[in-house]
């Protein structure tokens, strides 16, 4: 009978949202998918689910979408690390969106929320990071701030409104089904394959298969403890340089070169010039001074004891995920290859 209960996934045409919709359908669960732009039908072709419109900045649209829903997978958010006005376009959207999602769920009588936070909301003062070390103390990134403050607000509102809430904190998601434009994480693999990362930044990412994160969201809904947070990642991060080595081995014909090491002050100059270009062309820079300051040398390694023990979360090996994802990008022509 449980599978006949209705689940809503918002942000359902995004990378995680769409893969989560597919997973829930495969488990025989009734799914309602909600999106901001209902005219984009491609992500739902061949899927047995209801598609409705809602926007996290419009609470009434969420209340309508959540009617009759038992479990709400709150995936929808502004996921971008750069904007012309980051406070307005990232922070304010995510904080208002969190408030609207929790309040709308309570109004609609939803029983349980799986709130998608981020590893951005973890404290990295001790590595490997764990859930109970608290929140990120580094306030230099607006997106990171929105995830830190958003998750805390979600728990506070859920408690006040007496609604079950479990938070999941995914790392850099790649793999699974993807549609253009690619998400931030997948885009880094694309840049590597297109030979567009020439310099060594000493930045590492914690790659995780989006299908494993989707499974982790479902496990949080079925096994997660109310009021708890769970990291959905791999134990170890992988540098962009190491990721480039995987690409070299997979596709020798592309003749991908390893990024060249340069002094840190040169990196800052390159990033500053890229930021200057962004102000003119209104596109995110490949590298920002904040990226260098915050992420160069940061080890995003995690202790997964809690997720493994309480949820049964078991992520796919990083190398396998990276290789599968690179093959996917090439097979689906989501990269422009330059064979030299």
Residue linked to tokens 């690409």: 247
The Cα–Cα gap between 241 and 204 comes to 8
Of 309, 187, 167, 163, nearest to 229 by C-alpha is: 167
The pLDDT of residue 340: 63
pLDDT for the residue 2: 45
SS (H, E, C) 247-271: HHHHCHHHCCCCCEECCHHHHHHHH
pLDDT at 181: 86
Over its length of 340 residues, how does the chain's per-residue pLDDT go in tens digits?
344 799 999 999 999 999 999 999 999 999 999 999 999 889 999 999 999 999 999 999 999 999 999 999 999 999 988 898 999 999 999 999 999 999 999 999 999 999 999 999 999 999 999 999 999 999 999 999 999 999 999 999 999 999 999 999 999 999 999 988 899 899 999 999 999 998 999 999 999 999 999 999 999 999 999 999 999 999 999 999 999 999 999 999 999 999 999 999 999 999 999 999 998 999 899 899 999 999 999 999 999 999 999 999 999 999 999 999 999 999 999 998 877 6
Q: Where are the domains of the chain?
A: 2-179+206-236+300-316
The predicted pLDDT at position 134 comes to 96
Tokens linked to 74: 């709150």
Report the pLDDT value the prediction gives residue 1, as an integer from 0 to 100.
36
CA distances from 276 to 84, 103, 273, 330 (A): 12, 40, 5, 32
CB 213 within 8 A of CB 274: no
Fold type of domain 2-179+206-236+300-316:
Rossmann fold (3.40.50)
Paired tokens of 246? 């995987």
- Torsion angle in degrees (nearest 10) through CA of 216, 211, 154, 86: 150
Q: Which of 169, 201, 175, 170 is nearest to 189 (CA)?
A: 175
Q: At what angle do helices 240-250 and 318-331 cross, to 10 degrees?
A: 60
Q: Where are the alpha helices (DSSP H) in the chain?
A: 15-26, 59-65, 86, 92-108, 142-160, 184-193, 210-223, 240-250, 264-281, 289-295, 305-306, 318-331
Count, residues in the chain: 340
Q: Is 71 left (phi over 0), alpha (psi -120 to 50) or beta?
A: beta
Q: Look at residue 294 in the predicted model and tell me its pLDDT.
A: 93
Tokens of 199: 């310099």
Distance between CA atoms of residues 272 and 254, nearest Å: 30
DSSP code per residue over 139-153? ---HHHHHHHHHHHH
DSSP 312: -
∠ Cα 11 51 16 (to 5°): 30
Backbone phi, psi, residue 211, to 5°? -65, -35
Task: Decide: 32 and 108 in contact? Cβ < 8 Å.
Answer: no
Instruction: Assign 3-class secondary structure to 24-57.
Output: HHHCCCEEEEEECCCCCCHHHCCCCCEEEECECC
């Amino acid at each position: 009978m449980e599978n006949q209960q209705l689940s809503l996934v918002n942000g359902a045409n995004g990378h995680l949202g769409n893969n989560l919709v597919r997973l829930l359908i495969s488990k025989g669960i009734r799914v309602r998918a909600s999106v901001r732009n209902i005219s984009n039908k491609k992500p739902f072709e061949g899927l047995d689910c209801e598609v409705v419109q809602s926007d996290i900045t419009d609470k009434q649209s969420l209340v309508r979408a959540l009617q009759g829903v038992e479990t709400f997978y709150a995936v929808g958010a502004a996921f971008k690390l750069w904007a012309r006005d980051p406070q307005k376009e990232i922070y304010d959207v995510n904080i208002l969106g969190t408030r609207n999602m929790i309040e709308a769920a309570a109004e609609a009588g939803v029983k349980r929320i799986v709130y998608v936070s981020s590893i951005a909301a973890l404290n990295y003062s001790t590595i490997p990071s764990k859930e109970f070390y608290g929140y990120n103390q580094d306030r230099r990134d607006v997106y990171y701030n929105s995830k830190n403050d958003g998750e805390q607000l979600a728990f506070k509102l859920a408690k006040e409104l007496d609604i079950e809430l479990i938070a999941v904190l995914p790392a850099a998601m790649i793999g699974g089904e993807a549609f253009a434009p690619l998400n931030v994480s997948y885009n880094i693999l694309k840049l590597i394959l297109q030979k567009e990362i020439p310099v060594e930044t000493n930045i590492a990412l914690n790659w995780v298969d989006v299908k494993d994160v989707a499974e982790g969201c479902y496990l949080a809904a079925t096994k997660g403890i109310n009021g708890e947070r769970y990291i959905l990642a791999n134990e170890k991060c992988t540098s962009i340089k190491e990721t480039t080595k995987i690409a070299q081995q997979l596709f020798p014909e592309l003749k991908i070169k390893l990024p060249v090491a340069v002094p840190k002050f040169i990196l800052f100059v390159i990033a500053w010039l890229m930021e200057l270009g962004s102000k003119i062309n209104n596109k995110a820079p490949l590298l920002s001074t904040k990226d260098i300051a915050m992420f160069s040398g940061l080890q995003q390694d995690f202790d997964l004891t809690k997720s493994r023990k309480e949820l049964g979360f078991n992520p796919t090996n990083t190398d396998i995920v990276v290789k599968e994802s690179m093959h996917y990008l090439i097979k689906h022509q989501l990269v422009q290859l330059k064979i030299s």
